Amino acid sequence: MTDLDAMTKAELLDYAKELGVSPANNDMTKDELRAAIDEYQSEPGVEAQATTTASKDYMGRSLITPAVNSKDYLGRSTSSALDYLGRTLVM
């Protein structure tokens, strides 16, 4: 387990980007980065690799690798039928 409290802001930013946390940028404070990482890790299904037969999000934007570890066009995790906010994925 990673000790987020002991990390510097730069380490938190690198870790957030490695996880695929969005948003995660240098303009965020250390507390904001920590909160974004905590929220990302508490999302249901984030740990599991989702597979979907859908190929687009609700606005018709293509998913990234929908067949394995499905993510939306910005790299946020999706479930097999929903995006990170619970909106329906489409064919």
Q: Please tell me whether residues 69 and 55 are part of one structural domain.
A: yes
Q: Please tell me whether residues 31 and 57 are part of one structural domain.
A: no
Looking at the DSSP bridge assignments, the partners of residue 90 are 56
User: What average pLDDT does range 36-64 have in this prediction?
Assistant: 75
pLDDT of residue 41: 77
Identify whether the C-beta of residue 66 lies closer than 8 Å to the C-beta of residue 55.
Answer: yes
Identify whether the C-beta of residue 22 lies closer than 8 Å to the C-beta of residue 4.
Answer: no
Number of domains in the chain: 2
Distance CA 39, CA 19 (A): 12
Per-chain mean pLDDT for the chain: 80
Residue type at 60 in one-letter notation: G
Task: Residue 77: give the domain boundaries.
Answer: 48-91
pLDDT band for position 48 (cuts 50, 70, 90): very low
pLDDT tens sequence across 7-44: 999 999 998 888 888 888 999 999 989 888 888 877 66
Q: Please tell me whether residues 8 and 31 are part of one structural domain.
A: yes
What is the pTM for the complete model shown? 0.47
